[in-house]
Amino acid sequence: MAEMTFEAFDALLRSRHSCRAFTDEAVSRADIEAILKAAQRVPSWCNAQPWKVEITEKPETDRLREALFAHAQDAPYAPEIDWPERYSGVHQWRRKTCGLQLYDSVGITRGDRAASGAQMLENFRLFGAPHMALITAPAELGPYAYLDCGGFVTGFTLAAQARGVGSIPQAAVAAYAPFLRDWFGIGEDRVILCGIAFGRAADAPINQFRTERAPLTEWVTWHGKTEEDAT
Ligand SMILES: Cc1cc2nc3c(=O)[nH]c(=O)nc-3n(C[C@H](O)[C@H](O)[C@H](O)COP(=O)(O)O)c2cc1C
């Protein structure tokens, strides 16, 4: 087995970021297959591997982009899994911070709702990506399959990064689940979870900012050793 150092893996994790501007260049079928085969190595309960993936290539991606963007102008949101009821406390703060970073990066000032709304709608243009992957889970397996698919999404984004491909998971597109269900002919036995837009990252301001991560003290509780023993 080829050895990979912790440092190399950590560097991969740190180099990945959500990409919101892409070049037009298609990712080859061979590269996409390599990414998918790597991503499917993630664990899943009972090794059920519950994910299924619809992948678009050009010109189909452009057809979808145009239709989804048009649909998003006035269709009501209809996600199939519950969106967060609210973000409060630290979650609200983190959400706000990354939103401000995003809008700052493209020069949208706080309170400019027209501009931030227009930027949000870029989700439905798939941020200009040449490909999108739609992730679905079997309805009968319930939330643990969603957990497994979340792992797959992470595996996909990391494998893509390692292959020089930028990506962004998109819950936003799942807001129009009925549209996507029709478009891809997805049966009622599957639940639409999210999309992933992917392609080569463009050299654009929106791709320059990096989100922060909380210190361990904010989210880890140790049980067992006292603090002195642990050092
Ligand atoms: C399940 C999931 C859904 C997401 N949906 C969206 C989305 O709809 N639109 C968007 O711009 N970013 C979306 N993101 C990207 C997050 O905003 C991003 O991962 C987070 O701010 C951390 O930044 P980073 O990915 O650059 O490290 C999503 C991420 C995940 C994991």
Is the residue at 79 inside a domain? yes
Q: Is 79 in the pocket of ligand 1 (CB under 6 A)?
A: no
Q: Is 98 in the pocket of ligand 1 (CB under 6 A)?
A: yes
Q: What is the pTM of this model?
A: 0.97
**Residue range of the domain that includes 43:** 18-85+125-204
**pLDDT tens, position by position, 7-36:** 999 999 999 999 999 999 999 999 999 999
Is the residue at 6 inside a domain? no
Measure the CA angle with vertex 202, ends 200 and 205; round to 5°: 145
Best of 19, 80, 168, 176 to mutate for ligand 1, by most ligand atoms within 8 A of CB? 168
Q: Which residues of 37-55 are buried (b: 16+ CB within 10 A; e: fewer)?
A: ebbeebebeeeeebbebbb
Counted domains in the chain: 1
Is the residue at 228 inside a domain? no
Task: Round to the nearest angstrom and report the end-to-end CA distance of the chain.
Answer: 33
Is the residue at 186 inside a domain? yes
Is the residue at 116 inside a domain? no
Which CATH number characterizes residue 189's domain?
3.40.109.10
Is the residue at 183 inside a domain? yes
Mean pLDDT, the chain, integer: 97
Q: State the helix-helix crossing angle for 113-121 and 89-105, rounded to 10 degrees.
A: 90
Is the residue at 2 inside a domain? no
Is the residue at 147 inside a domain? yes
Q: What pLDDT sits at residue 228?
A: 72
Best of 16, 17, 18 to mutate for ligand 1, by most ligand atoms within 8 A of CB? 18
